């Protein structure tokens, strides 16, 4: 309990959610809000936006947002899709340390295989079960924001 | 039977092998001079020069021809050594003999490495001029050309030849396909007519036929002649008997002479009738006393024979004119029908009796792969299968035809009444496309000119000798196992039909390939559609599910129990829908992933499946029966696992018996190396009327929650797995007693 409290007082790096579905994002937001941690959430609705955000280009040029502590990435996105975003991030020296969790509808074994080949940190299939979704979100946040120690430059 | 065999061998020894082209002798009515080319020195002569030209043979041997002939005549022969002898024959020769000059008809030709000059004394002086020849042939030729039918033509010819030659009997023989000759026209002053009589093929042996095609005219002025030997015996250049194939004077086979004696014939002349370079028949002339035909008369006869030969094709092709037109129009209809149908056999089925009319048959079978279409009277399926195999090795240019099948194929004896005549057409060996036509037996009476089975004489030394037959009395035979012959125009129609059908079959095969390609493509598209659609359906479904939960969380206090219960139902329905979508996704993925075939130990696999299933349902007691260990087979392990899991779990699920059992086994069948697997239960069974429906996706026979529930995709997946392995699946089931699923996991060999 104490450690949790200690963590909650810490300034959390933001969570970048790349998700085109408003309904899915709302569900995610709802569940995150109930967690004891206060995590800033940044949402991008497609791959291009996500890349602009990470590279601080375009509309994000003047943003002074800290780098995200976790990216939750949907695979099937309009325009540049999740697979391409993943590949680009994991090839970039400055970005590849950011953990990425694929959070998608696709249960295709080929997708799972490809994502791990690109270096994804975790692959989670979106459940159609509210209780399970709640549990999954909690586990993700706990694991990546509490249990895991990330490189220090991500936290500044 | 042994006697029969002997008779055949005697036949061959005596007739077919007699070297009649090198008799070493000539007939005595002329002189043969054999000359060395190009100097024209005499190197061999017949031993009758003394009688015919007053010079002993020894005096001629070694001398140049110019000693006998004057300069222009020698030059004439010399000049044509490198050219055509036809243009100089006959030579009008005058040879100075000791007491006088003798006029000869000279015929010169080159053969066997030497030049042969045959000299026949001319009876009356003065050679016939061109106009004599013209007047003699003008009338007969005009009549020949005017003759309306083939038989009229023959009748004209025998009359004209008899008028010109004065022979007692002039006949036209026509040979049939088996080589037997029939007298089809006759002009005679003799009492016994030979018209309509038939002579067996052995009456004119093979090598004699060959000589008839080389030499269009053959003369035997006196069948009782004393043959004249050649001096020396052998051709001095080759040291072999001289080949007299083209020599007019060539001595006659003693067997043939005996034949003529038996027939009462002393002089004979025959003119060959040719069609398409084949011996079609003969104009045969007989005389009871010696009779010599001078060269110019023979030339007239030979010319008439040539004109008649040329006319044969015309007359034969104009025969059956109406019938041929009918065939042509029928052929057009057949091709039209066939080209309008998608499949060759479907078209054939529509044709029905038209197929018979096409060749005037009474039965027909069309074979395409394993399928058969029967029209009219045909042998049984089993008989046809064996017959077809037999015919396949006897096809000549895709055709086989016979009018007397039982003679060549003894098994046909039992069905000769409907199929003595067979005409078979191979359309495609690869696709096993054949058409067979049948004709019934037609009992025929044949009038032979004497018993066609030659008598055999037992010689003093115990050997056998076949003699020419002695009796030419009418000898009637009833011929069995024969059908009416297939007419050349019918065969032509069939050959033509073949090339038309081949075109149609090829086009249909192409269409089919294109359709298959399209089907494959649309199947793939459908698979990918099902995959994407079901995938995309999940997102809104998840939204509905989540929002129903939000409602329950946020408004639980304001909602009545009834409202909450409705939201719960909504959530439950989204979960069921997800199950369906997952099944659909799974099914479509099954068609999209590659098969990973490897050797799989099915025994282990099934044991694992059973272990997993019983773990999931520990409360269900089922007896698993495996009569013998399952074999190793090549298959995709994951898919096969799913296949067995689905079938075994179904067998457990749909069972209401207190003592449940499931039997898993396999059958091996003769003729195939692939086992047939089965999974049998003592469950509830499947009603007959539903047995075809169970494999359809989401097709359920029971309530959603009966028998443990399920989405209804399991058996569809099972069938997909089986089909992807190239196998097939089928069921046997008795309601309330149990069901057996049979399946194979490899394509069965096409038999």
CA distance B620 to chain A (A): 29
Give CA angle at B289 (B284, B292), nearest 5°: 65
For residues A53-77, average pLDDT: 86
Calculate the average pLDDT of chain B: 84
3-state secondary structure of B448: strand
Give burial (CB, 10 Å; 0-12/13-18/19+) of B202. Answer: buried
Q: Tokens 């149990």 — which residue?
A: B738
Question: Given a cut of 70, is residue B382 above it in pLDDT?
Answer: yes
| pLDDT band at residue A6 using 50, 70 and 90 as cut-offs | very low
Query: Of B550, B574, B589, which has the smallest distance from its Cβ to A128's Cβ?
Result: B574
Residue B82 tokens read as 């490198």
Question: What is the value of ipTM here, to two decimals?
Answer: 0.79
CA distance A106 to chain B (A): 7
- Asked if residues B46 and B228 have their Cβ atoms less than 8 Å apart, the reply is yes
**Residue numbers in B near A74 (CB within 8 A):** none
Chain B touched by A112 (CB under 8 Å): no
Quote the CA–CA distance of B116 and B34 in Å, as a whole number: 5
For residues B175-198, average pLDDT: 87
Instruction: Provide the pairing of β-strand A100-104 with A70-73.
Output: parallel
| pLDDT band at residue B457 using 50, 70 and 90 as cut-offs | low
pLDDT in tens, B274-294: 988 889 999 999 999 999 998
Query: Of B538, B540, B546, which has the smallest distance from its Cβ to A27's Cβ?
Result: B546
Distances (CA, A) of B157 to B149, B190, B215, B313: 12, 18, 19, 16
Element (DSSP H or E) covering residue B703: none
CA distance B343 to chain A (A): 42
Quote the CA–CA distance of B143 and B112 in Å, as a whole number: 40
Quote the CA–CA distance of B407 and B243 in Å, as a whole number: 38
For residues B181-192, average pLDDT: 90
- Asked if residues B231 and B47 have their Cβ atoms less than 8 Å apart, the reply is yes
**Residue numbers in A near B574 (CB within 8 A):** 128
CA distance A65 to chain B (A): 30
**Residue numbers in A near B585 (CB within 8 A):** 107
Answer whether B542 sits within 8 Å of A126, measured CB to CB. yes
Q: Which of A24, A67, A17, A7 is nearest to A46 (CA)?
A: A17
Instruction: Provide the pairing of β-strand B474-479 with B464-466.
Output: unpaired
**Residue numbers in B near A27 (CB within 8 A):** 546, 550
Residue B475 tokens read as 């000898």
CA distance A30 to chain B (A): 9
Answer whether A30 sits within 8 Å of B550, measured CB to CB. yes
CB under 8 A, 24+ apart: contacts of B567-573: B570/B544, B571/A130, B571/B545
Q: How many CB pairs under 8 A join A and B?
A: 40
Residue B582 tokens read as 């997952």
Q: What is the pLDDT of residue B465?
A: 54
Quote the CA–CA distance of B639 and B651 in Å, as a whole number: 18
Window A:44-83, CB contacts with B under 8 Å: 76
**Residue numbers in B near A133 (CB within 8 A):** 546
Question: Given a cut of 70, is residue B23 above it in pLDDT?
Answer: yes
For residues B7-11, average pLDDT: 37
Quote the CA–CA distance of B227 and B603 in Å, as a whole number: 93
Answer whether A128 sits within 8 Å of B589, measured CB to CB. no
- Asked if residues B220 and B29 have their Cβ atoms less than 8 Å apart, the reply is no
Distances (CA, A) of B700 to B590, B657, B692, B697, B712: 21, 21, 12, 8, 6
Paired strand residues for B662: B624, B681
Q: Give CA torsion, residues B461, B464, B468, B470, to 10 deg.
A: 70
Answer whether A130 sits within 8 Å of B578, measured CB to CB. no
Quote the CA–CA distance of B679 and B662 in Å, as a whole number: 7
Query: Of A23, A107, A108, which has the smallest distance from its Cβ to B543's Cβ?
Result: A23
CA distance B617 to chain A (A): 24
Give CA angle at B724 (B721, B728), nearest 5°: 75
φ and ψ at residue B112, rounded to 5 degrees: 55, 30
- Asked if residues B456 and B7 have their Cβ atoms less than 8 Å apart, the reply is yes
> Which pTM value belongs to this model?
0.53
Question: Given a cut of 50, is residue B444 above it in pLDDT?
Answer: yes
Answer whether B545 sits within 8 Å of A129, measured CB to CB. yes
Q: Tokens 């029209």 — which residue?
A: B375
pLDDT in tens, B54-105: 888 898 888 888 888 888 888 888 877 776 666 667 778 888 777 778 888 8
Query: Of B535, B540, B545, which has the smallest distance from its Cβ to A106's Cβ?
Result: B535
Q: Which of B317, B246, B309 is nearest to B283 (CA)?
A: B309
Quote the CA–CA distance of B354 and B360 in Å, as a whole number: 9
Answer whether A128 sits within 8 Å of B549, measured CB to CB. no
CA distance A39 to chain B (A): 22
Q: What is the pLDDT of residue B501?
A: 82
- Asked if residues A104 and A74 have their Cβ atoms less than 8 Å apart, the reply is yes
Q: Give CA torsion, residues B392, B393, B398, B399, to 10 deg.
A: -90
Say which residues have a Cβ less than 8 Å from residue B602's Cβ, sequence separation at least 6.
B630, B631, B632, B633, B640, B644, B677
Radius of gyration, alpha carbons of chain A: 15
Query: In this prediction, what percent of chain B has a pLDDT beyond 70?
Result: 90
DSSP letters for B99-151: SSEEEEEEEEEEETTEEEEEEEE-SSSS---HHHHHHHHHHHHHHHHH-SSHH
Answer whether B545 sits within 8 Å of A128, measured CB to CB. yes
Q: What is the pLDDT of residue B292?
A: 92
Higher pLDDT, A7 or B330: B330
For residues B703-729, average pLDDT: 81
For residues B560-585, average pLDDT: 88
CA distance B724 to chain A (A): 20
Q: What is the pLDDT of residue B466?
A: 54
Answer whether A128 sits within 8 Å of B542, measured CB to CB. yes
Higher pLDDT, B339 or B403: B403
Quote the CA–CA distance of B695 and B266 in Å, as a whole number: 91
Query: Of A105, A107, A130, which has the smallest distance from its Cβ to B545's Cβ?
Result: A130
Q: What is the pLDDT of residue B229?
A: 92
Higher pLDDT, A28 or A150: A28
Element (DSSP H or E) covering residue B270: strand B267-275
pLDDT in tens, B649-700: 889 888 888 899 999 999 987 767 788 999 999 988 888 888 878 888 777 7
Residue B300 tokens read as 């007239």
Q: Which of B633, B641, B564 is nearest to B605 (CA)?
A: B641
pLDDT in tens, B494-526: 888 888 888 887 887 788 888 888 888 888 788
Say which residues have a Cβ less than 8 Å from residue B511's Cβ, sequence separation at least 6.
B342
Interface test with A, best of B539, B583, B584 (most A CBs within 10 A): B539
Q: How many Cβ atoms are within 10 Å of B352's Cβ, its own excluded?
A: 14
CA distance A151 to chain B (A): 35
Answer whether A21 sits within 8 Å of B539, measured CB to CB. yes
Say which residues have a Cβ less than 8 Å from residue B723's Cβ, sequence separation at least 6.
B729
The sign of the dihedral angle between the CA atoms of B125, B131, B134, B136 is negative
Answer whether B549 sits within 8 Å of A23, measured CB to CB. no
For residues B691-713, average pLDDT: 73
Query: Of B538, B547, B550, which has the smallest distance from its Cβ to A105's Cβ?
Result: B538
**Residue numbers in A near B549 (CB within 8 A):** 130
Q: What is the pLDDT of residue B749?
A: 46
Interface test with A, best of B533, B536, B549, B572 (most A CBs within 10 A): B549
Q: What is the pLDDT of residue B469?
A: 61
- Asked if residues B290 and B219 have their Cβ atoms less than 8 Å apart, the reply is no
Answer whether B571 sits within 8 Å of A130, measured CB to CB. yes
The order of strands in the sheet holding B101-111 is: B25-26, B228-231, B41-46, B31-36, B114-121, B101-111, B91-96
φ and ψ at residue B323, rounded to 5 degrees: -60, -40
Go through B295-329 and write b for each residue having 16 or more CB atoms within 10 A of its CB, e for each that does not.
bbbbbbbbbbbeebbebbeebbeeeeeeebeebee
- Asked if residues B474 and B197 have their Cβ atoms less than 8 Å apart, the reply is yes
Q: What is the pLDDT of residue B128?
A: 64
Chain B residues in contact with chain A using a Cβ-Cβ cutoff of 8 Å: 535, 538-543, 545-547, 549-550, 571, 574-575, 578, 582, 585, 589
Residues in chain A: 156
Question: Given a cut of 60, is residue A146 above it in pLDDT?
Answer: yes
pLDDT in tens, B607-616: 999 998 888 7
pLDDT in tens, B63-77: 888 888 888 888 888
| pLDDT band at residue A72 using 50, 70 and 90 as cut-offs | very high
- Asked if residues B403 and B484 have their Cβ atoms less than 8 Å apart, the reply is yes
Chain B touched by A129 (CB under 8 Å): yes
Query: Of A76, A108, A130, which has the smallest distance from its Cβ to B546's Cβ?
Result: A130
| pLDDT band at residue B455 using 50, 70 and 90 as cut-offs | low
Question: Given a cut of 90, is residue A101 above it in pLDDT?
Answer: yes
CA distance A80 to chain B (A): 18
Q: Which residue of A has its CA nearest to B554?
A: A30
Instruction: Provide the pairing of β-strand B456-458 with B464-466.
Output: antiparallel
Answer whether B535 sits within 8 Å of A105, measured CB to CB. yes
φ and ψ at residue B447, rounded to 5 degrees: -95, 105
For residues A14-20, average pLDDT: 93
Quote the CA–CA distance of A13 and B217 in Å, as a whole number: 120
Query: In this prediction, what percent of chain B has a pLDDT beyond 90?
Result: 28
Answer whether A129 sits within 8 Å of B575, measured CB to CB. yes
Paired strand residues for A64: none
CA distance B699 to chain A (A): 24
């Amino acid at each position: 309990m104490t450690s949790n409290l200690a963590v909650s007082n810490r300034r959390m790096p933001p969570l970048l959610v790349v998700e085109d579905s408003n309904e899915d994002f709302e569900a995610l937001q709802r569940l995150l809000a109930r967690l004891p941690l206060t995590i800033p959430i940044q949402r991008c609705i497609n791959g291009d936006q996500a890349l602009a955000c990470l590279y601080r280009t375009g509309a994000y040029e003047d943003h002074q947002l800290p780098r995200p502590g976790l990216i939750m990435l949907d695979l099937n996105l309009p325009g540049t899709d999740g697979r391409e975003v993943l590949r680009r991030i994991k090839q970039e020296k400055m970005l590849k340390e950011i953990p990425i969790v694929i959070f998608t509808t696709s249960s295709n074994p080929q997708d799972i295989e490809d994502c791990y080949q690109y270096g994804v940190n975790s692959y989670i299939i979106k459940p159609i079960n509210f209780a399970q979704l709640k549990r999954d979100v909690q586990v993700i946040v706990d694991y990546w924001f509490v249990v895991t120690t990330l490189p220090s430059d991500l936290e500044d | 039977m042994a006697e029969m065999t002997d008779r055949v061998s005697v036949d061959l020894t005596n007739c077919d092998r007699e070297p009649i082209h090198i008799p070493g002798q000539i007939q005595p009515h002329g002189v043969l001079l054999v000359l060395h080319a190009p100097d024209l020195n005499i190197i061999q002569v017949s031993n009758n020069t003394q009688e015919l030209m007053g010079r002993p043979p020894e005096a001629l041997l070694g001398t140049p021809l110019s000693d006998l002939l004057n300069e222009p005549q020698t030059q004439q022969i010399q000049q044509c050594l490198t050219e055509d002898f036809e243009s100089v024959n006959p030579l009008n020769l005058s040879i100075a003999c000791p007491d006088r000059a003798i006029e000869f008809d000279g015929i010169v030709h080159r053969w066997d490495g030497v030049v042969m000059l045959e000299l026949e004394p001319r009876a009356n002086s003065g050679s016939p001029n061109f106009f004599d020849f013209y007047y003699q042939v003008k009338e007969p030729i005009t009549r020949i050309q005017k003759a309306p039918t083939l038989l009229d033509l023959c009748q004209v010819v025998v009359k004209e030849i008899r008028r010109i030659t004065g022979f007692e009997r002039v006949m036209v023989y026509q040979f049939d396909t088996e080589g037997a000759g029939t007298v089809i026209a006759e002009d005679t002053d003799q009492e016994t007519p030979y018209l309509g009589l038939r002579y067996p093929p052995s009456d004119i042996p093979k090598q004699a036929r060959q000589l008839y095609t080389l030499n269009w005219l053959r003369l035997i002025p006196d069948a009782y002649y004393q043959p004249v030997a050649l001096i020396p015996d052998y051709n001095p250049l080759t040291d072999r008997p001289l080949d007299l194939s083209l020599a007019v004077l060539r001595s006659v086979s003693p067997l043939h002479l005996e034949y003529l004696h038996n027939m009462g014939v002393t002089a004979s002349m025959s003119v060959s009738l040719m069609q398409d370079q084949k011996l079609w028949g003969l104009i045969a002339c007989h005389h009871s006393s010696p009779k010599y035909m001078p060269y110019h008369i023979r030339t007239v006869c030979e010319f008439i024979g040539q004109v008649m030969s040329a006319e044969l094709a015309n007359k034969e092709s104009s025969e059956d004119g109406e019938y041929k037109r009918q065939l042509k129009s029928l052929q057009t209809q057949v091709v039209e029908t066939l080209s309008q149908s998608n499949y060759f056999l479907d078209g054939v089925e529509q044709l029905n009796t038209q197929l018979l009319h096409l060749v005037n048959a009474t039965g027909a079978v069309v074979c395409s792969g394993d399928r058969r279409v029967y029209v009219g009277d045909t042998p049984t399926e089993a008989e046809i299968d064996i017959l077809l195999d037999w015919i396949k090795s006897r096809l000549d240019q895709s055709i086989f035809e016979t009018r007397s099948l039982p003679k060549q194929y003894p098994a046909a004896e039992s069905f000769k009444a409907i199929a003595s005549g067979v005409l078979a057409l191979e359309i495609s060996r690869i696709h096993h496309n054949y058409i067979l036509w049948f004709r019934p037996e037609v009992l025929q009476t044949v009038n032979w000119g004497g018993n066609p089975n030659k008598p055999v004489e037992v010689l003093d030394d115990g050997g056998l000798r076949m003699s020419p037959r002695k009796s030419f009395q009418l000898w009637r035979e009833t011929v069995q196992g024969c059908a009416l012959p297939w007419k050349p125009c019918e065969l032509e129609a069939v050959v033509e039909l073949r090339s038309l059908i081949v075109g149609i079959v090829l086009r249909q095969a192409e269409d089919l390939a294109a359709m298959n390609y399209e089907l494959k493509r649309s199947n793939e598209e459908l698979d990918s559609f099902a995959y994407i659609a079901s995938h995309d359906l999940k997102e809104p479904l998840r939204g509905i599910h989540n929002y129903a939960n939000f409602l329950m969380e946020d408004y639980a206090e304001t909602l009545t129990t009834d409202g909450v219960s409705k939201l719960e139902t909504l959530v439950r329905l989204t979960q069921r829908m997800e199950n369906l979508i997952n099944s659909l996704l799974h099914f479509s993925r099954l068609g999209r992933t590659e098969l990973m075939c490897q050797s799989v130990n099915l025994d282990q696999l099934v044991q694992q499946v059973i272990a997993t299933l019983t773990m999931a349902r520990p409360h269900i007691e089922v007896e698993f029966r495996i009569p013998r260990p399952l074999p190793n087979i090549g298959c995709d392990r994951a898919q096969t696992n799913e296949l067995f899991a689905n079938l075994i779990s179904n067998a457990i699920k749909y069972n209401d018996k207190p003592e449940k059992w499931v039997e898993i086994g396999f059958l091996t069948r003769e003729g195939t190396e692939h086992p047939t697997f089965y999974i049998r239960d003592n469950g509830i069974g499947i009603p007959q009327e539903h047995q075809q429906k169970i494999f359809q996706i989401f097709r359920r026979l029971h309530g959603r929650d009966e028998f443990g529930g399920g989405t209804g995709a399991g058996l569809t997946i099972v069938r997909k797995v089986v089909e992807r392995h190239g196998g097939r699946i089928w069921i046997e089931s008795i309601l309330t007693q149990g069901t057996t699923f049979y399946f194979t996991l490899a394509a069965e060999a096409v038999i």
